[in-house]
Amino acid sequence: MPNNEQPDFDEEFAKAVAEWRDKHRLREDDAVMLLVELFRIHQQHWDELRRREIPSFEQFRADIVKLVAVAQTFQQQSAGLQEALRSRSLTHGAARITRAAAIFAALAALLAGYLIGKGWP
């Protein structure tokens, strides 16, 4: 089971800043320390915005599970529809036109077109 707790890096960061301050012999009210504090404020602000705007991984995972279920349902229903159409086309064969009937209809259409052309002024 995954660990849902976020690690807290504030303590590690504070320790690293304190070591850096000691190494460079900076006072607490030094301008560089004020910049570090400003950076922390900026970072906390953007972290909070990201937390509000980005959905959690669990929500994303739940959405993917729903999408897979919908896709499976769609596949099952479309397979059922295809099977129904195949069985219907076999039982209700479309009216088949014979070659002789098609030739007769074409000749009749040509004759009718010729006669209409002759009779039309």
Give the residue numbers spanning the domain of 88: 64-92
**Domain assignment of residue 14, yes or no:** yes
3-state secondary structure of 97: coil
CA atoms of 8 and 64, how far apart (whole Å)? 29
44 and 70 assigned to the same domain:
no
| Position with higher pLDDT, 9 vs 109 | 109
Among 6-10, 40-44, 55-59, the minimum mean pLDDT is found in 6-10
> Does one domain contain both 15 and 50?
yes
Q: Are residues 23 and 45 in the same domain?
A: yes
Total tally of structural domains belonging to the chain: 2
Q: Do 70 and 44 fall into the same domain? A: no
d(CA 53, CA 46): 10
49 and 84 fall within a common domain: no
Examine residue 32 and state whether it is found in any structural domain, yes or no.
Answer: yes
pLDDT above 80: residue 60: yes
Give 82-115 pLDDT, tens digit per residue: 998 888 766 555 567 789 999 999 999 999 988 8
pLDDT given for residue 6 in this prediction: 62
Q: Which helix (H) or strand (E) holds 65?
A: helix 57-91
Whether residue 103 lies inside any domain: the answer is no
Contact 65, 53 (CB under 8 A): no
Does residue 69 contact residue 63 with C-beta atoms inside 8 Å?
Answer: no
State whether 42 and 73 are in the same domain. Answer: no
Question: Are 50 and 31 in the same domain?
Answer: yes
- What's the confidence (pLDDT) of residue 79? 93
Give CA torsion, residues 49, 54, 56, 61, to 10 deg: 180
